Structure 1
Amino acid sequence: MLRPLPLFLGLRYTRAKRRSHFVSFISLTSIIGLALGVLVMIVVLSVMNGFDHEMRSRVLGMVPHATLEGGQPLKDWHELAGRVQQSSQIAAVAPFTQMQGLLTNNGQVQKVLINAIDPAEESKVSIIGDYFVQPAGSNGLKELEPGAFGILIGDLAAKNLGVGIGDKVTFVAPEVALTPAGMFPRMKRFTVVGIFHVGAGEIDGHVAMAHIEDAGRLLRLKPGEVQGLRLKLHDLFQAPQVSWQLAQSFKDLDLYARDWTRSHGSLYQAIRMEKTMIGLLLLLIVAVAAFNIISTLVMVVTDKKGDIAILRTLGATPRQIMLTFMVQGTVIGVVGTLIGGVLGVLAALNVSAAIKWLEGVLGIQFLNAEVYFIDYLPSQVQVQDVVLVCGAALLLSFLATLYPAWRAARTQPAEALRYE
């Protein structure tokens, strides 16, 4: 089968020759360097995508997208919830009351934010029902009954307090009660009826849940009164605008809005910015590999000056000579990018399992839930990232061929053959 001369020669020069093993070795290192650069970029970007996804699905699945609260407790939350759900951007609404304080047990103390909820409504706005480890295989929200003063806590808090299902914990509110004997902190005994593990240390260690009627009794609210409404939006990034507009539309109730960007927005923005900055820094690895292609082709041109001169005397044009070395450099770029792309996708798909296995072998945990917002290494491969990385590598590889190919095309036959 006939092939164009530049393609035939470019492919031939890429393969090993008896007289140019060193040049072939340099070509191989260029391929390996480019492949490693592409592999690392895909893996790191996939890990950052994983953090972004877990932040959205787990942390923001537990944290309210937005809340509507008033200066006074809401008396008829059902009527307000019906009005709020008329907005097309609201997916679900549930009542809540919050209490901050301490949980204690046998001298162990843990700060906690108790979200008092309606078990029948909470599953509409939260993912907590999918993450209970005790009772195993059940939705722990069903364990909350009015008047029983049960509490749901995270496994990290349960570990710190040394409690399990059925154990008692004492909630200490940051208030005092006046009694004939003096002032005493307001305390209440709760029974642990469920333990959950979301994988986010902030939630597993410092968030608990109780029945909304029990919290109302503890806070001395009237029956049916709640602190506010929790909103779940179809698009969580619209939470600031939508919640503010809703609060303004109910002027008769004097409501104010809060959304997730105030509590976790900085963390989410940090993840997004880190992905961008790390991507740009890792692109330098690919750029270095592309520069290796330049040095490889410059050495090939020097090594092949005699061949170039003979080809020119046989009628090859400068354009054909230039295309020959562009083909060689492009082959190196394509092979390195393909190898790096395939290995990068495979590594990104298995990096979470590999890190978990390594943690088991070494007996250590790389991501501690008490330090990081999740306790495992997530990874999510996105097609657009793989295409972007491979496209950038191919483009840089192609640009790297231009200068050496141009130098080859300028080779003068007489000058090259003078010392042959």
Structure 2
Amino acid sequence: MYRPLSIFIGTRYTRAKRRNQFISFISMTSMIGMGLGVLAMIVVLSVMNGLQDEMRTRILGMIPHATLSSSEPLLDWPQLAQQALKNPQVLAAAPHTEIQGMLSRRGVMQPVLVSGVLPAAEEKVSILAEHMQRGSLAALKAGEFGILLGENTARRFGVQLGDKVSLIVPEATKGSVVITPRLQSFTVVGVFKVGADLDGSLALIHVADAAQLKHWPAGQVQSVRLTLEDLYQAPRVSAQIAAGLGQGFTATDWTKTQGSLFQAMQMEKTMIALLLLLIIAVAAFNIISTLIMVVADKRTDIAILRTLGMTPGQVMAIFMVQGSVIGLVGVLLGGVLGVVLAANLTPWVSALESLLGARIFSGDLYYISYLPSKLEITDVLLVCSAGLLLSFLATIFPAWRASRTAPAEAMRYE
């Protein structure tokens, strides 16, 4: 099979035993360093993807993907929900009312966002029913003033099912600019835990009780909550639905309420990737050191090849091939091991916890009790491409130095 001379000699240099064992050692450490850098980037990016996906599922599974509202409370919300469901992107719709208030019990106070929900419809748009620790979503009944609290809130107040808490909401008197607090007693009928900040900042009541707190007629709600098939289409889809409903209707989506959180997480992932890229850069510098020493060791061979008619470009290609092969082997090794480790990280960490008899990630300290990992092929391709590119760039200077070798000068003392 025909192979260009530069590729043949370059691969031959890579396989052949060198007289200088130190050069062989540096070459091997370059491969290992490149592999470790690629492996670390793939695993860490997979963990970051898993954390993002977990937080997205938990937070956006509790808050609305989008809401439709008007300047006045909505009375015929089922009709509005039916119109929204005509859009193929909308999976479910439910009534929703928000109230900013303060929970109080025995001198302990905590600000809270109270969501008025309809239990039967909320199960279709929220993951709340899957994360109930005690009680149930169905325990919210109109007129009974029951409340669901997050795990952190319930622990802070030291309450159990059946205990009472007071909700303080601001109330403006008609014809006056004075705002007075209104106190309403609620019975704890359930405790949920989704593993996010919402466990300490969100509470749920029946939508009919929320209307009573706002002095609205029975059946009126603040907005209609939508769950979408593709949550990243929420701004476009919600605006399109609101425009079709006519004047006076507005749309709000999750990017306006929680967008900054996920932007911060994406920035954190980018910065960690750039820092880990330095590991690959160090391995690339090792390739430069290896090739410089190889060029010094092969000066006689270079002189002979030049005497036989090899051009400087072909000499340069020899050492670029050799350095690229070192980088390629390291990238392939790190890529394969990184994919295997990232794909099995969660069960392996769980097995390690069982073996050690200790929890690395405690649910009492962290939002999640396990290490999530989500392998994305785009991340693998980007990391491997970055490793190959840096390896190739690392070969240019040593190869150029080799091509500048003068045959007569190299052979003078041979």
Cα 1:197/1:346, change in 2 over 3 Å: farther
One-letter amino acid of the structure 1 residue matched with residue 234 of structure 2: A
SS at the partner of 1:163?
Answer: coil
Match of 1:152 in 2: 148
> 1:168 aligns to what?
164
Q: Letter of the aligned partner of 1:147 in structure 2?
A: G
2:265 is aligned to 271
5+ unaligned residues in a row in structure 1: which ranges? none
Residues 80-133 of structure 1 show CA distances to partners (whole Å, capped at 9, x for unaligned) of: 222232333322211012222122233332221111111111122212222222
Q: How many Å apart are 1:368 and its aligned residue?
A: 5.4
Identity of aligned residues (%): 56
In 1, distance between residues paired with 2:189 and 2:5?
78
How many residues align structurally? 407
Correspondence for 1:84:
84
Which residue is 2:195 aligned to? 199
Distance 1:81 1:304, change over 3 A: same
Correspondence for 1:214: 209
Give the residue type in structure 2 aligned to 1:53. Answer: D
Task: Give the structure 1 partner of residue 230 of structure 2.
Answer: 235
Q: Secondary structure at the match of 1:170?
A: strand
Q: Aligned partners of 1:274 and 1:184: how far apart in 2?
A: 43
Q: SS of the residue aligned with 1:336? A: helix
Q: Does structure 1 retain, via aligned residues, the 8 Å contact 2:361–2:370? A: no
Please say which of residues 346-355 and 259-268 is displaced more in the overlay. 346-355
Q: Secondary structure at the match of 1:153?
A: strand
1:215 partner letter: A
Deviation, structure 1 residue 320: 5.5
Aligned to 2:293: 299
Q: Tell me the secondary structure at the aligned position of residue 113 of structure 1.
A: strand
Amino acid at match of 1:290: A
Partner Cα distance (2:256, 2:4) in 1: 63
Deviations 1:10-46 (A, max 9, x none): 4453358463121112212222321232123223322
Q: 1:407 aligns with which of 398, 401, 410?
A: 401
Residues 361 and 368 in structure 2, CA contact (< 8 A), matched pair in contact too:
no
Q: Measure the CA separation in 1 of the matches of 2:257 and 2:311.
A: 67
The answer (yes or no) to whether the contact 2:211–2:217 under 8 Å persists in 1 is: yes
- The one-letter amino acid paired with 1:338 is L
* 8 A Cα contact 1:16 1:24, kept in partner: no
Q: Which deviations, in whole Å up to 9, do the C-alpha atoms of 1:344-384 show, x marking residues without a partner? A: 33443455674994998588869956xxx878754321011
Matched letter for residue 227 of structure 2: K
Amino acid at match of 2:223: G
8 Å contact from structure 2 (residues 362, 368) kept in 1: no
The correspondence of residues 8-157 of structure 1 with structure 2, limited to 5 A, is 9-14=9-14, 17=17, 19-135=19-135, 140-157=136-153
Measure the CA separation in 1 of the matches of 2:17 and 2:220: 85
Structure 1 residue matching 2:386: 3-state secondary structure: helix
Give the counterpart letter for 1:418 in structure 2: R
Give 1:416's aligned residue. 410
Query: Which letter maps to 2:202?
Result: V
Q: 1:199, 1:376 within 8 Å by CA — same for their partners in 2?
A: no
In structure 2, runs of 5+ residues without a counterpart are none
Q: Distance in 2 between matches of 1:232 and 1:91?
A: 6
C-alpha separation between the residues in 2 aligned to 1:172 and 1:101? 6
> Which deviates more from structure 2 when the two are superposed, residues 286-295 or residues 387-396?
286-295
Instruction: For 1:345-360, list aligned pairs within 5 A.
Output: 345-349=339-343, 354=349, 357=353
Pairing partner for 2:184 from 164, 182, 188? 188
Quote the Cα distance in structure 2 between the aligned partners of 1:23 and 1:323: 20
Instruction: Tell me, in whole angstroms, the C-alpha distance in 1 between the residues paired with 2:221 and 2:413.
Output: 95
What amino acid is the match of 1:35? G
**Does the 8 A contact of 1:105 with 1:162 survive in 2?**
no
Superposition RMSD in Å: 3.4
Equivalent position SS for 2:125:
coil
Deviation readout 1:248-281 (Å, 9 max, x if unpaired):
44346x3332221221122222333443444345
For residues 23-74 of structure 1, the C-alpha deviation after alignment (integer angstroms, 9 at most, x for no partner) is 1122122223212321232233223323432343221221111212233322
> Are the aligned partners of 2:319 and 2:399 in contact in 1 as well (CA < 8 Å)?
yes
Are the counterparts in 2 of residues 176 and 186 from structure 1 also a CA contact under 8 Å? no
Distance 2:182 2:173 in 1: 6
1:194 aligned partner, one-letter code: G
Counterpart of 1:222, as a letter, is P
TM-score by length of 2: 0.85
Q: CA deviation at 1:216?
A: 2.5
Aligned equivalents of 1:298 and 1:363: distance in 2?
45
Letter in 2 for 1:340: G
